[in-house]
């Protein structure tokens, strides 16, 4: 993918630097390990979203979720190692530590999280403040002030 230079836009825009930085970071190649754990992002309503992440083998105590400055960070770290003397003939269930970050749009807040059947579900909602919502302006009729021209008697 080609690198896009946003510097001409920096000269003519104000307040969009975060957007350009985010677009620039999306163009960077992903680092190794970014495919684990697998996840889905779903739209569950007009302003509601859900991130579902497959975290089989992790308990709720081994997973931490943090939302800070429009970044949602999910970390998982196994607390225990296999018992002494256990020998794996095949190890297909990943139990390695992970950290996954999601960029959240403005006014998107985490509503809650639940771990069920090896899937971590994180519910998100966009709460737009009242002052940013469009509002209807009523038009009032101006009082008519028809001027009457009086004719002078001859």
Q: Which helix (H) or strand (E) holds 121?
A: strand 119-126
Report the mean per-residue pLDDT for the chain: 81
Residues 41-63 have pLDDT tens digits of 999 988 899 999 999 888 889 99
**pTM greater than the 0.75 cutoff:** no
pLDDT score, position 142 = 76
Which residues of the chain are in CATH 2.60.40.790 domains?
33-79+94-129
**Residue-wise pLDDT tens digits, 56-93:** 888 889 999 999 988 899 999 987 666 677 888 887 77
**Rounded mean pLDDT, 112-122:** 94
Query: How many angstroms separate the Cα of 86 from the Cα of each of 15, 80, 90, 111, 116?
Result: 57, 13, 12, 41, 28
Q: What pLDDT is stored for residue 99 in this prediction?
A: 92
The CATH classification of domain 33-79+94-129, taken from the options 2.60.40.790, 2.20.25.240, 1.10.730.10, 3.30.70.1290: 2.60.40.790
């Amino acid at each position: 993918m080609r690198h896009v230079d946003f510097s001409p836009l920096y000269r003519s825009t104000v307040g969009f630097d975060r957007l350009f930085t985010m677009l620039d970071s999306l163009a960077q190649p992903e680092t190794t390990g970014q495919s684990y754990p697998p996840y889905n992002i779903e739209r569950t309503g007009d302003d509601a979203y859900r991130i579902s992440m497959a975290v089989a083998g992790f308990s709720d105590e081994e997973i931490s979720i943090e939302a800070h400055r429009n970044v949602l960070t999910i970390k998982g770290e196994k607390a225990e190692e296999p018992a002494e003397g256990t020998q794996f003939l095949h190890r297909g269930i990943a139990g390695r530590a992970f950290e996954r970050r999601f960029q959240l749009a403005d006014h998107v807040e985490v509503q809650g999280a639940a771990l069920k059947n090896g899937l971590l579900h994180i519910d998100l909602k966009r709460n737009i403040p009242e002052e940013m919502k469009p509002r209807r302006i009523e038009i009032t009729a101006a009082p008519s002030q028809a001027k009457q021209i009086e004719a002078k008697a001859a």
